[in-house]
Structure 1
């Protein structure tokens, strides 16, 4: 991956952040409590909004983005540690986190279902799942446009898929969804849910 995308990311996103995204992030991220895991923290746009977290462990595989997130780390009310790691192989023990946050990242994760399975592994039973993503739009013309544009968009924007049906993948992973809110005619959504309670292995027959 070239360095131009992470270096220009904040500049390109600034109009959307000012217009709406900052408000969406604030409302979503302030719901993260306890020990928090953030997936794909990028340049740290969420960091200033962790008003109710005890601590935050964030993963970000791109070194340029990690470096550029330092300023936002200083603005956080919670201590934040950023790790170089991929979502499909998280460097944390089972049942560690109370809340999971991911914003505008599942479009780029190579194996989003595996990432969600890893998230469920490291999350405590019933942990909050807080997502903000752009997704495949349920409208024929838009779906076709997203499919046509995705190959070029992936090349230009660090593997970003315009046509990912992330909500369906979240459901497939067994996340319990309590609310979904859409923005910009369904191009962007927030998802609030939890990991539920894991099925326990049956006890051996003691008879």
Structure 2
């Protein structure tokens, strides 16, 4: 049976460590912890629920961040790479019977507006796609809408995978939504912080 296309859960991956002096997701971004800044964005998205996957320094992040009504799961194997955290997140959705589509989002990508998410979801539903990705001018990026029927494929991945590369092997089922903008900013290391601070 196909998933109910009117339900979407945001799955925020915030498990890696990165090049920071302290916990990556507690690095200050314009006066607020990085993950808090991202969750502030997520709160405005047109989704039905939020799941956040933590890994590195999970207990410190739990204590410092206001997750509001989001469900938090901890990936004990986060050092394996992105695949482990995606597995943990999708497994939690399945166990909680949160069927439908999943909006895969990065916990280090700030400034994703609700209008962008709404356009992605509208295209995904209209095209009945296995996955829908934003194309920022000439390059695909995040966040990514993934239909439930693709979850088993993603849950079978291992290591430090790039989901966009995986989706390239399913070209017929992947829709694109084009944006004439640069992608929302990624904070991969302390050098990417706007104020240059590492904590």
TM class by smaller structure: 0.3 to 0.5
In our comparison, the structure showing a higher alpha carbon Rg is 1
TM-score by length of 2: 0.36
The one of the two structures with greater contact order (alpha-carbon pairs below 8 A, sep at least 6) is 2
Compute the TM-score of the two structures, normalised by the length of structure 1: 0.35
